[in-house]
Structure formats: C-alpha cells, structure tokens
Amino acid sequence: MNQSSRDFQISLKEIEFLSPRVNQGLEFVFVIDGEITIEIDSRFYVLKEQDLLLINRNQLYQVKGNPGNCVLMLNICDAFMEQYYDEYRNSRFECFSQEIDIGREKLLNHIRTLLVRLMISYYRKDESYKIEVQSHLSKILLNLIRGFKKKGSALEKVDNNDFRLTQIIEYMERNYHQPITLEGMAKKSYLSTGYLSRYFKKKTGMGFSRFLMNIRLRHSVKDLLYTNDTISQIAMKNGFANTKSFTTVFKESYGVTPHVYRESHEKEKIDSFENYPIEDAEQFVHSPNILGKLGLILNNLDRSYRNTESRFEELSLDVTEPNHKEICRPKHTVIIRELKELLKEDVRSQILMVKEEMRLDYIGISNLLRGETITADVETDEAIATSSPYFRSDSALDFIWKNNLSLFVRIDYQEISANEENYFKKLQGFLKHCVQLYGSSYLSTWHFLFYEPYYTAVDARELERVYSRMHDVLKTIVPGIKVGVFLPFSFKDEGTSKPHTWILSVGDAVDFIGYQSNQNDIVDFQELNDQTFYMAKDYLREKTAKIRAYLKKHGIEKPLHLISWNTLSGNTRFTNGLFFRAALVLKSVLDVADEVESIGFWINTALHENDAKGQRIRMEGLELFHYFSGKRPAFFAMMFAKKLTGSIISQGTDYVLTQNERGYQLVLMNCNTVNPYYSMEESFLKTLNKEILVKIKGLEAGDYQIRKYIFDREHGALYTKWLSLNSKHGLDMEIIDYINRSSHPELELFDETLTDEWSFHSYLTVNAIHFFEIRKAII
C-alpha cells in the first residue's frame, strides 16, 4: 500500500532490507507489526510493535527487517516544511518512542494516532479525504515541532536541493573509510580546489576537512558501541591516519578518550549490516487484514490529548548548589460562623478532615454572644440553678479543646454598640466560665479580633474607646489572650480610612492585625479585556507587602492574620464553581507564607450562603467543602501545601523544589489570572494550557520512584463532575456520594534510573497543579 502527493509519501511496507541512503525531508517510521533495525549515523535502533522513530533530513540510514514485519512510513518533503515552517533548516527533532521523556507519552500517542488516521484517510479516499489528510499532516507537524524540537546541527542546514553538494556529501558518507582529500574531491567534481573549499564552507557552514572528520567520528562511535574491535582497528577502519590522530580528534569532540567513552556507553552487540546486499529488498503490504490491525491500534491509543495550542516553557534547575530555605507554614483558621455549628455531625467531620489532611489551628467564629450558642437567662427561684446558658457552647468547646484547636473570634463594633453594658457583662461571664473549665493557659491561645469595615460612619475616637474597653475586659480575665484589630486598607491609596487611623496610635495595645484581600474587588467582571485582570495577578502578595510597609512606617510591627481572602472567582455562584483555580490558591498561599501568622477559610458552601441571609452572596472567602462534604479545589491546594517537606532549594513564580530525607519534591503550577467568564469557553481555555520541559541537574545518581499527582479540571475538580452527571430529574445521594468519592487528584507512578541530569515534560491545563515526589529507592 503506497500513496503519495507532492508534499508527502505514505506507505505500508514489509522490509527485508533498505540500502544506505541520505534521507530527504522528514521520515516517520512506525512499526505496525514485527521488528526492524535501523542504523542511523553512529547507532542502531531496534523497533518493535508500535515503536516510532523520526529520521531527520540529511541523515544517512539503512534498515533491516525481521520476516513478517509491517511498517508505516511517512516522508514529508523539504519543500513543504520550508514553505510553512521558517525554522525548519535550523531545527532537528528527537523522537524515539523507547527513549521518551516522562510527560511525553500522551503526545507521542497522539502522533501515532494521527499517522494511522492519515493512512486510513488516504486509503479510503472519500469525498473529504484531502481535507482530512492535510488536517492530520498539520497536526502531526505541530505536535512534533512543539514537543520534540531541538537546535539543528550543520547537517540539517545543508541544502539537499543542491545536486552537486548532495553528490559530494553522499560520496563522503559512502567512502569515509577511504582516503579522501579536498584536492581529490575537487578533481572528481571538475572544480578548482580553492573554489570547492569556499563553496563547501558557504553551503555547510564548516570546512571540508572538518565535515569529513565529523562523518568519520559518527561511524567510529558506532563501532565503539556495538563491536569488539580494538581502538586501533576502529581508527583504521574509519579513515583515520593512526590511533593517535583518532584519539586526539575524538577527545576534542566528545570530551573523553575513545576507551573511556566505550566503557561508559557500551551497548548490546548487534550484527553489522555490512554482510547484506546494497539493493533494496521490500514489498508493499496490500492485505486487508492490516486495516484490522490499524483499527486495533486506534482503539488502544489515548485520543484525548490535544496540545497544539498550548504554550511551551523550559525550566532548568540545578540542585548541586541549593539555596536552602525553611518552609513557612502559617496557621490555618476555618470559619464556621457560630459555635453552634460544631453541634452538627457533618461540620465536625469536615473539621477533622481539615485537621488531618491540610492542618488546622483555629476555629473562626462571629456572633459569639448572639444566636443560639449561648441561651438566654432563665428566671428561676432555685437557690442553685439547675440549667446553664452554656450547655450548647460547652459541647462545642469540648470538641475544640479535645482536638487541640483554639478559637479565633471576630467581634463587630455594631454587635457591641447595640447594648454595650450587657454585651461586656455577658462576655465576662462567658470567659470566666471557660477559664473555670479549661484554664487560663488554654485560653491564652485564643484570638479576639475587633472589627469595623472600611466604610463606616463611626468616629475614630468612638472606635478607639470601644476597642480599649474590649481589650481591658479580655486581658483582665486572661492576660495572655491575644487581642487584635481589623485594619481596613485601600490598595490604591495605600492607607486606611480616616475613622481607622486611631489604630496607628495604639500599637502597644494591639497584639495582632487582621486584614482582608480579595482580587474580585479590584476588577470589573463585565470587562473582557485581559489587562485589568493581569493587574490583579499578584494582588494578595502586593497588598500584604503594602500593609506591612504602611504599619512599619508608623512604628507598628505586629503579626498579620489574613482573616478573609479570595482569588478571582467571578461574581456569580455559577462562574465561581466553573472557574478552576487550584494553582491560584496554592501560589497565593506560597506568596505570603512567610509574611502572615494565619490564613482563614470558610468551612463550606452551605454556611457561607446561610451567612448571606438571602442576599447576594459575596465571594469574599474560600470554601473548603461544597454540599455533602465534597472537597473544593482550595482543600486539595492546601493539602499539597501540607505535603511539602524538607527545605526549599529553588523557587520561582510557578514552581517550588524541596529536598528532604527521602529525596525531592517538585510543585509545578500553571497560574492564569483571567476573566473567570472565559472558563465557559473551551476554545479559549486551550490557549492557556502550558507545557513545561523540566531539566534537573545534580541529582544523586540511582534508582528513584516518581509519584506524580495531577490536579486539574479533569482530575479532582468537583464542579466538573457535577456538570458531567447533571440531570433535569435531580441527583440522589448515590450519585452525590460517587461525585465526592471520585473527585480527587490523579496519581501516576514511574520507576526511573536517574543520572546527573533528568528531564521530563509536564502538560498543565488552566490553573493545574502537578506535584512530584522524587523518592530515592532503597535497594
């Protein structure tokens, strides 16, 4: 079966032997059945079923096949490549399926799939086959260019349309073992010696003698690797004058002597092709049975990978001189609104999951003395009351205390001012009751935050007075308790509002500063232009730095607590759920980890919505759970933050590399700060995907187990599962339970033997996280 056009040739062949030839264009060799061996320059490639190899332009190759093989061969001509790809002459491609980097498997499978589809389309020739063929051909080349491109050598730059030059190079390739001189070649080509020297240098970029020496060196490497010939025999066999001259030029090119190179690179011995005839021995495959084989290959290949629109980046890391930095771990606060919520079994189970899987230190509450947590006083004529207003709160506090957690209480000015005397009387009673139960040392771990929003009609002196009274009440009963104040802060004006300037003068009476940071506050969600969203990219880190600088300017250096925050999420619940943002969450936390004492989260969607009391839900905080304890992306992002151990040895805007006693950890992130409404447009999202070629130098050589966790829209995103299993007839608990159980990051496992440098590819979709555990194997 053989098909061709001006742009390419595609065929299915059974190959016994293909004589040596210099490749024209790009040649894809895909083994459908059986086994073949290809010799290219200085090495042999043994290809078995479904192996794929690319032969670059101007490479000398020959092929030997075992009986019964079937090989799909696609040649794309130079003219086609040069017309559509300007960098063709400056590029070469390294694509051999047996030596593929980690992360390249799906991309390679996509090329295999396209080759088979191209073959089938050309064979069927239906009415649209020409369009299909061009589509498959373009996609093959896009994947090749964006995934396997390397910087070209002088060989790829040679113009093989120059018939005279091609003849000269082919003669050199075939007769390298014979004496060849510039003068002799000039005479054979009917040219003067001087003209040939200038002509050859202009066309190839190097001198005639150097070009010939490179050919001889490539062939000598093959003999070093695959034969038992002595160094002297190899030198003479490949056209060198003597062993000394061979050793000198070899070391100049490869950095070591031929003997050392052989010892460190020796391959399994393979029978030379020299005993076989130089005439081609091949036949085209016409059997219809091969279509069944092609169909089976299509069914087995992964056809989900689409990577032609993604960005490509290269990340080079060197661990030989690590810059060790301690991993900072801010404390975590989970906001549950009221203590009474801890009487619910589902909330308790969520709290315990948070504590176990992402760490937890504080339970955040407001409405401490309102609502149903502390019951109203009951009139009684009993000498000793048989009822207690704290029976609900005691049950909740026991749960907190037994799990080594503390309270982080927000007290609003409006809450106090409604009935100031009664409020402080109840606060004193509650605190004395808690000291009686748990002791002052435990209550000294509690935090109380005085809160009034940025826009307020309350005078600064009034706010200062009420705060001072609250501070004194708390400190009188528990001197070690932490009392702080919320600092409203304008990112644009780089300061607080006038009613809150009193905070700057009472630094000694403030144990900590609380603040909020929400990217959603500084963008217009109706704006489709990316620029405003790009300006919000590092909002949390920059706002934190501005607050720290502002306080320091006024002589205040207190711990900062990020009580409420958010990444871009959209301004509707629909967009908020659809916009996957795990990498944004993790990056934001890593950005401020060494600047803040604690970071706050909401416990779940239900409580957050309930807190809005029917009003429009403000996306001011990150929720850890959806309905029925489904884990939201923020939960898994913080779980990865907890998994980081050891010390940070390299860190950038979208990666972290750590070293620990078991090996290394690497976190890759694809952070995209864009309008969340684009999350509903799949074609746009594809352009935000990112492919990274990671190169790590200086790893201790040996065997490693690589664990790769993938967290993206398709692997762990709760809302994606909800959408895919949506039904107009509703979801029952069986379906919801399945969604929650199946929504988690994917784990891949690899065994790798690493040397000094390890490279692999990672393909990250929008705001995806890839977490690598690189564990040294114990043999």
Neighbour-count burial of 380, counting CB atoms closer than 10 A to its CB (0-12 exposed, 13-18 middle, 19+ buried):
exposed
Q: Choose between 164 and 340: higher pLDDT.
A: 340
The 3-state DSSP composition of the chain as helix, strand, coil percent (nearest 5) reads 40, 25, 35
User: Average of pLDDT values for 76-105?
Assistant: 87
- pLDDT averaged over the chain? 85
- So what's the pLDDT on residue 651? 94
- Reading the block at residue 16, the tokens are 């016994």
Among 106-115, 193-202, 275-284, 762-771, where is mean pLDDT lowest?
A: 275-284
- So what's the pLDDT on residue 49? 92
187-238 residue pLDDT tens:
888 888 888 888 888 877 788 888 888 888 877 877 787 778 888 888 888 8
6-16 residue pLDDT tens:
789 998 999 99
Residue 376 has pLDDT above 70, yes or no: no
Neighbour-count burial of 335, counting CB atoms closer than 10 A to its CB (0-12 exposed, 13-18 middle, 19+ buried):
buried
Q: Assign 153 a pLDDT band (cuts: 50, 70, 90).
A: low
Q: Assign 528 a pLDDT band (cuts: 50, 70, 90).
A: low
User: Average of pLDDT values for 160-167?
Assistant: 72
**E runs forming strands in 256-343:** 281-284, 311-318, 325-326, 331-337
Q: Assign 764 a pLDDT band (cuts: 50, 70, 90).
A: very high
Residue 615 has pLDDT above 50, yes or no: no
- So what's the pLDDT on residue 381? 54
Pick the most confident of 28-42, 399-413, 704-718.
399-413
422-441 residue pLDDT tens:
999 999 999 999 999 999 99
Task: Spell out the domains of the chain, with CATH numbers in brackets.
Answer: 2-152+281-302 (2.60.120.10), 157-275 (1.10.10.60), 309-327+644-779 (2.60.40.1500), 331-376+383-420+448-642 (3.20.20.80)
Helix (H) or strand (E) holding 329: none
- So what's the pLDDT on residue 15? 93
Distance CA 146, CA 53 (A): 17
Residue 84 has pLDDT above 80, yes or no: yes
- So what's the pLDDT on residue 306? 47
Judge whether 478 and 432 are in contact, CB under 8 Å: no
Backbone angles phi, psi at 635, to 5 degrees: -60, -50
- Spell out the residues 6+ positions from residue 463 whose beta carbon is closer than 8 angstroms to its own: 413, 452, 456, 499, 500, 502
- So what's the pLDDT on residue 377? 58
Q: Choose between 493 and 285: higher pLDDT.
A: 493
User: Average of pLDDT values for 636-650?
Assistant: 96
Q: Choose between 378 and 243: higher pLDDT.
A: 243
Q: Which of 153, 166, 16 is nearest to 94 (CA)?
A: 153
- So what's the pLDDT on residue 258? 86
- Spell out the residues 6+ positions from residue 37 whose beta carbon is closer than 8 angstroms to its own: 44, 45, 46, 47, 63, 64, 65, 270
- So what's the pLDDT on residue 307? 47
Distance CA 463, CA 466 (A): 5
533-570 residue pLDDT tens:
777 889 999 999 999 999 999 999 999 999 999 988 76
Considering the chain, what percentage of its residues have pLDDT values greater than 70? 87
Torsion of CA 335, 338, 339, 345, to 10 degrees: -80
Distance CA 775, CA 318 (A): 17
Looking at the whole model, is its pTM more than 0.85? no
- Reading the block at residue 279, the tokens are 């005439």
Considering the chain, what percentage of its residues have pLDDT values greater than 90? 45
- So what's the pLDDT on residue 130? 87
Q: Choose between 272 and 721: higher pLDDT.
A: 721
Compute CA 596 distance to the chain's CA centroid, rounded to the nearest angstrom.
26
User: Average of pLDDT values for 256-274?
Assistant: 70
341-369 residue pLDDT tens:
999 999 999 999 999 999 999 999 998 98
Among 16-25, 268-277, 314-323, where is mean pLDDT lowest?
A: 268-277
User: Average of pLDDT values for 595-619?
Assistant: 74
User: Average of pLDDT values for 664-676?
Assistant: 90
Q: Assign 718 a pLDDT band (cuts: 50, 70, 90).
A: confident
- So what's the pLDDT on residue 387? 63
Pick the most confident of 40-49, 477-486, 626-635.
477-486
Q: Is the Cα dihedral 618, 623, 629, 630 positive or negative? A: positive
